[in-house]
Structure 1
C-alpha cells in the first residue's frame, strides 16, 4: 500500500521579495541607480565631441578595447550593454506591475479629488514610456545605423553630426532629454527613500542632489545637439 506523502513547498526568499511591493520598489531603485551611473559616464563621453573628431573617435575606440588583453575586442562593451538591458527591463517591468497594483488598489470614485502631485511625479509614467521609445530609436540611429541613412560604421563623430543636422533628430533627442531630467529628478529622491537613505535631516540634501543631477545631465546631453545646430561643433 503506497503511503501518500505531502510536501510543503514554500516560495523562495527571492520569489517572496519579487512578489512584494517593497521588493519591486527595491529592484526599481537599484536598477535606476545602475542606469544613472551609466548616464553620468555616457554624458561625460559625449562631451568629448567638443575636443574634436580625433578625441571623440578615440574615446569610441577605447570603449571597444576596454579590458584588453584580459577581455577580447568589444567584450567589455557587450557586458555593459547586457547589464543595462537587464536594468532597463527590470525597471520597466516593476514600474508597470506597481502601476497596475496602484490602480487596482484605488476606490472607484473619490468624493474629493486628491491634491495634485508635482509635475515630475505626474509625468513619471509617460516619461518612462518616452525614454523607452527613445532608447530603441537611439540604438537604431547611432549604434546599428538602421534608421540613419548616412550611417558610417567606425565614424561616430560624423554620425553624431549628421543625426543632429536634421530637425527631427534634434527634436527627438531634446524632448527625450527633458523627459530624462524630470525622471532623474523624481527617481533619485524616490530611490533614496526606498533604500532607506532618506530621512527628515537628509531630505533637503537629497532633493538638492536630485535637482543638480537632473540639471547637469539634461544640460550635458542637450549641449551636443545645440552645439551642432549652432555650428560650435562641425
Structure 2
C-alpha cells in the first residue's frame, strides 16, 4: 500500500493498467477483424468466446478492475497536478507538450463514455437499434447485428469518432508508459513516440474500417 502513497507509485500503477488495456485493444481488434471473413468468421469467433463460459466473465471483471484503477488514478493525478502546478510552471511545461499530452484527461473521459455505450450496444444489447437472431447453424448472428447497426450513419460516426479519440489518447499514453517506468531516455524516447503513433494509427484504421466498410456497402451480408 505504500506504493499508493507516492505520486510515482500511482503513476506506475496507472501506466501498467493502461498498457494491459492496450493488449486487450490488440486482441479485441484481431477478433473483430474476423468480420472481414464473412458471417461464418465473426459468428464462429463469438461462439468460441461464448463456449468459454465463466472464463469470459472472469476476464471481463479483470478488465473492469483495470479500467477502474486507471480511471481513478488518472483523475486523482490530474487534480493533484492542477492544484500543485502554478500558472507559470504550467505555461513553461507546455513547451514540449502537444494536443494528446495536454488532453489526456478529456480523451480519457470521452473513451470512458464510449466504453459504456459500447457495452450497452454490443454486449448487453439493450440499445433500440440492435437486431438479434441466429444464423443457419444456430449460432448468435453477430454479423447481422453488427452490419445492421453500422448501416446507420449516426452509429457508424460514433464508433469512428471514438477511434479518433483513442488515437489521440494512446499516441501519448503508449510512449508515456516507457517514460513512467524509467525505460526511456533522450535516445530512446523518439522510438517510443513513433511506436505509440504507429500502434495508434493501426488501431484507428483497423477499428474504423469496420463501420466505414459496412456503411459504405463494401462489407455486407
Q: Normalising by structure 1, report the TM-score.
A: 0.86
- CA RMSD across the alignment: 1.6
CA distance in 2, matches of 1:194, 1:112: 19
Aligned to 1:141: 121
Task: Give me the whole-angstrom Cα distance separating, in 1, the residues matched to 2:76 and 2:5.
Answer: 10
1:22-47, Cα deviation, whole Å (9 max, x unpaired): 11101111100110000001011111
2:81 counterpart (86, 96, 102):
102
Secondary structure at 1:135's aligned position in 2? helix
Gaps of 5+ in 2: 134-139
| 1:206 CA drift (Å) | 1.0
TM-aligned CA deviation for residue 162 of structure 1: 1.5
Task: Say whether 1:78 aligns with 2:57.
Answer: yes
* Partner Cα distance (2:98, 2:106) in 1: 14
Q: CA deviation at 1:112?
A: 9.3
Answering whether residue 30 of structure 2 is matched by residue 44 of structure 1, we say yes
The Cα of 1:201 is off from its aligned counterpart by 2.5
Contact 2:100 2:172 in 1 (8 A): yes
Q: 2:62 and 2:128 mapped to 1: Cα distance?
A: 26
Residue deviations 1:61-109, cap 9 Å, x none?
111224xxxxxxx2121111111101111000000000110111023x5
Distance 1:160 1:196, change over 3 A: same
Report if aligned partners of 2:121, 2:130 keep a CA contact under 8 Å in 1. Answer: no
SS at match of 2:88: coil
Deviates more, 1:148-157 or 1:165-174: 148-157
Is this contact kept in 1: 2:174–2:196, CA < 8 A? yes
Instruction: Please tell me whether the aligned partners of residues 153 and 215 of structure 2 are also in contact (alpha carbons under 8 angstroms).
Output: no
**Is the 1:148–1:163 Cα contact (8 Å) retained in structure 2?**
no
Q: Determine the structure 1 residue equivalent to 2:102.
A: 122
Task: State the alpha-carbon separation in 1 of the partners of residues 51 and 90 from structure 2.
Answer: 59
1:169 pairs with 2:148: no
Alpha-carbon distance, 1:148 to partner: 3.5
Asked if 1:211 corresponds to 2:197, the answer is yes
- Structure-1 residue corresponding to 2:183: 197
Pairwise mapping of residues 148-159 of structure 1 onto structure 2 (< 5 A)?
148-152=128-132, 154-159=140-145
Q: 1:202 to 1:133 in 2, by over 3 A?
A: same
How many residue pairs were aligned? 212
1:197-231 deviations in Å (ceiling 9; x for gaps)? 21223212211111111010110000100110111
Question: What is the deviation of 1:111?
Answer: 9.4
* CA shift in 2, pair 1:111/1:102, >3 Å: closer
Tell me which structure has the larger Cα radius of gyration: 1
Structure 1 residue ranges without an equivalent (≥5): 1-13, 67-73
